[in-house]
């Protein structure tokens, strides 16, 4: 089967969050299963052309957006059995960052129209076009409205995966004819409308053949107004075509036995080596705490979604009780500052790294005892699964994929538990759970058992790969 992933980011070329990991790892898994997979994404200005990675120019494709005559230079490269198509346009994508610009609506309209025009121009005819999040959300609508009668497009099927319902790609209805050449009636009759805007994610939900999200629990949450950020109504109408498939993590990249970023590698049988990694990390980051005292960490985008409001008081709790803390991430300025203030108060036992640093993140996962991830909402979450594989016990709130991947210790279930959980988004519960984790650290027998359970858990992509393939097969005749 031929599958084309449409995404705004994919590892190893461009990443700001979990979306990039998932697009890449899922594509790799499908390629291993023998499918023909390609990914199409923007060629951002900061994608590096490394000498050992040949990126070849293949064609110039015209992309008129209303009166704006644009074109996309299509580049192609192969990585791990996946074909990547990179769409270059200096005006839209030749910038430092990926998102957050005033003209994002226009940039991703360009991307969506370019994806369709590229398929036509280069005769790329996938059986399934798999759209991720809102960025290419208009692609199914575009093709079904404008091209479905042509032989080239009429059998094509569409899947949309919702990774994050907090971003829906809303825009003014006048832009529908202007950018997409789609008649305003599609807004007026409600098809593409949510409140008073066109909504690209809703468009994908309406026009895709199958819709899914990245964990079973989040699939349930998406059927409620809070969980779906308002898209529950339309998802309920598509309920029969909607499901949750739990993400995995990339077992090649995240493997403490082979991880080239670690000073000391280790596996399930010798998790004690984590202490050596802790010592090295303490040296690297200037932490003066004793290596026998616990290390709590967080590797995350520092945004409201991630529960930083709860982590801040929990950090104080840990530091007051003699533990150590490392935070790696970047995001909202207020959070960065709050963390910096805490670090200044406890300079010997807390370190922060503001920014994205993948090798350091690996070392932090390996060196830590506990991992904070008390998200407000979390469609799947990847950090908690990486932590488990590295023998670091996650402390999570039971939301979305966190609920589906962490079994909380309750004082009796040490045969199965592999982390700590609480339900309410509330400082009280966060502190209580953090203190409970600290207690178990003193009770090394339980702590080691939980750590072993975490390391033995299987979160690779094999299950999810099969489920996606089954989903595709259910629509491709």
Judged by beta carbon, residue 122 or residue 376, the one nearer ligand GLC is 376
Decide: is 247 part of the binding site for ligand GLC (CB under 6 A). yes
User: Which of 7, 13, 14, 22 is in the footprint of ligand GLC by CB under 6 A?
Assistant: 22
Choose among 446, 391, 435: nearest CA to 413: 446
Closest distance to ligand GLC from the beta carbon of 139 (Å): 19
Binding mask 128-167 toward ligand GLC (x if CB under 6 A, else -) reads -----------------------------------xx---
Nearer to ligand GLC, 277 or 375 (CB): 375
| Cis before 12 (ω within 30) | yes
Comparing every residue's Cβ against ligand GLC, the nearest one is 18
Using a 10 angstrom Cβ sphere, with 0-12 exposed, 13-18 middle and 19 or more buried, the burial of residue 136 is buried
Q: Which residues contact 185 (CB under 8 A, 6 or more apart)?
A: none
DSSP H/E element including 308: helix 308-320
Q: How far is the CB of 380 from ligand GLC (least distance, A)?
A: 3
CB neighbours of 148 closer than 8 A, spacing ≥ 6?
A: 154
Across 253-288, b (16+ Cβ under 10 Å) vs e yields: bbbbeebeebebbbeeeebebbbbbbebbbeebebe
Number of residues that bind ligand GLC (CB under 6 A): 14
Cβ density class 363-375: b for 16+ within 10 Å, e for less: bbbbbbbbbbbbb
Q: State which residue, 405 or 453, has the beta carbon closest to ligand GLC.
A: 405
Of 113 and 311, nearer to ligand GLC (C-beta) is 311
CB within 8 A of 52, min separation 6: which ones?
none
Q: Residue 211 has which token pair?
A: 């819709």
Q: Are 385 and 401 in contact (CB under 8 A)?
A: no
Closest CA to 26 of 11, 44, 41: 11
DSSP bridge pairs for 83: 38, 78
The residue (of 12 and 17) whose beta carbon lies closer to ligand GLC is 17
CA–CA gap between residue 438 and residue 455 (Å, rounded): 19
23 binds ligand GLC (CB under 6 A): no
Which listed range, 11-19, 74-82, 138-146, 285-293, lies at the site for ligand GLC (CB under 6 A)? 11-19
Q: Which stretch binds ligand GLC (CB under 6 A): 17-25, 109-117, 226-234, 455-463?
A: 17-25
Which of 386, 401, 382 shows the shortest CA–CA distance to 21?
Answer: 382
Compose the 81-120 pattern: x for residues touching ligand GLC by CB under 6 A, - for all others: ----------------------------------------
Other beta carbons less than 10 A from residue 416's beta carbon? 11
8 A C-beta contact, residue 395 and residue 374? yes
Rounded Cα–Cα distance for residues 166 and 228 (Å):
8
CB closer to ligand GLC out of 136 and 323: 136
Told to check if 18 binds ligand GLC by CB under 6 A, we report: yes
Q: Which stretch binds ligand GLC (CB under 6 A): 2-10, 68-76, 85-93, 380-388?
A: 380-388
Nearer to ligand GLC, 163 or 389 (CB): 163
Q: Which is nearer to ligand GLC, 17 or 216 (CB)?
A: 17
Listed ranges 15-23, 139-147, 173-181, 262-270: which one lies at the site for ligand GLC (CB under 6 A): 15-23
Q: 19 or 454, CB closer to ligand GLC? A: 19
Instruction: Rank residues 256 and 381 by Cβ distance to ligand GLC and give the closer one.
Output: 381
Cβ distance 1 to 110 under 8 Å? no
382 touching ligand GLC, by CB under 6 A:
yes
Q: How far is the CB of 120 from ligand GLC (least distance, A)?
A: 29
Task: Please identify which residue in 380, 386, 430, 438 interacts with ligand GLC, judged by CB under 6 A.
Answer: 380
| Contact characters 178-197, ligand GLC, x per CB under 6 A | --------------------
**Closest CB to ligand GLC among residues 215, 440:** 215
CB of 98 to ligand GLC, least distance (A): 13
* DSSP classification of residue 304: G
- How many of the other CB atoms lie within 10 Å of CB of 5? 28
**Shortest distance (Å) from residue 218 CB to ligand GLC:** 8
Q: Is 404 in the site for ligand GLC (CB under 6 A)?
A: no
Beta bridge partners of residue 298, listed in sequence order: 327
Name the residues that contact ligand GLC, by CB under 6 A.
Answer: 17-19, 22, 163-164, 214, 247, 378-382, 401
């Amino acid at each position: 089967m031929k599958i084309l992933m449409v995404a705004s980011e994919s590892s190893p070329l461009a990443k700001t969050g979990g979306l990039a990991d998932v697009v890449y790892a899922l594509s790799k898994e499908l390629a291993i299963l023998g499918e023909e997979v390609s990914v199409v994404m923007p060629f951002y200005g900061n994608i590096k052309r490394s000498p050992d990675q040949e990126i070849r120019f293949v064609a110039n494709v015209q992309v008129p957006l209303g009166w704006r005559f644009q074109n996309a230079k299509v580049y192609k490269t192969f990585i791990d059995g996946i074909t990547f198509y990179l769409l270059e346009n200096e005006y839209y994508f030749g910038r430092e960052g990926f998102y957050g610009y005033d003209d994002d609506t226009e940039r991703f309209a360009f991307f969506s129209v370019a994806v369709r025009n590229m398929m036509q121009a280069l005769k790329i005819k996938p059986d399934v076009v798999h759209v991720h999040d809102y960025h290419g959300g208009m692609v199914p609508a575009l093709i079904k409205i404008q091209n479905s009668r042509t032989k080239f497009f009429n059998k094509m099927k569409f899947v949309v995966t919702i990774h994050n319902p907090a971003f829906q790609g809303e825009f003014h209805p006048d832009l529908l004819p202007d950018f997409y050449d789609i008649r305003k009636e599609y807004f007026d009759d409600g098809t593409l409308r949510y409140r008073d805007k066109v909504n690209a994610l809703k468009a994908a939900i309406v026009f895709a053949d199958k819709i899914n999200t990245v964990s079973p629990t989040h699939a349930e949450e998406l059927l409620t107004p809070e969980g779906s950020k308002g898209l529950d109504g339309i998802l309920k109408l598509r309920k029969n075509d909607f499901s949750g498939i739990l993400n995995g993590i990339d077992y090649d990249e995240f493997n403490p036995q082979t991880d080239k970023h670690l000073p000391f590698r280790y596996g399930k049988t010798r998790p004690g080596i984590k202490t050596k990694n802790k010592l090295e990390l303490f040296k690297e980051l200037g932490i003066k705490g004793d290596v026998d005292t616990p290390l709590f960490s967080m590797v995350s985008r520092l945004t409201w979604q991630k529960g930083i409001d709860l982590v801040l008081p929990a950090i104080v709790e840990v530091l007051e009780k003699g533990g150590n803390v490392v935070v790696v991430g970047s995001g909202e300025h207020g959070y960065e500052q709050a963390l910096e203030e805490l670090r200044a108060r406890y300079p010997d036992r807390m370190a922060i790294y503001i920014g994205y640093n993948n090798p350091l993140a690996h070392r932090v996962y390996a060196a830590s005892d506990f991992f904070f991830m008390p998200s407000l909402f979390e469609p799947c979450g990847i950090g908690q699964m990486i932590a488990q594989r590295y023998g670091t016990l996650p402390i999570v709130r039971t939301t979305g994929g966190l609920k589906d991947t962490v079994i909380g210790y309750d004082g009796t279930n040490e045969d199965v538990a592999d982390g700590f959980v609480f339900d309410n988004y509330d400082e009280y519960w966060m502190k209580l759970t953090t203190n409970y984790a600290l207690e178990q650290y003193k009770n090394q027998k339980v702590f080691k058992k939980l750590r072993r359970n975490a390391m033995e858990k299987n979160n690779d992509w094999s299950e999810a790969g099969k489920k996606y393939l089954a989903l595709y097969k259910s629509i491709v005749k």
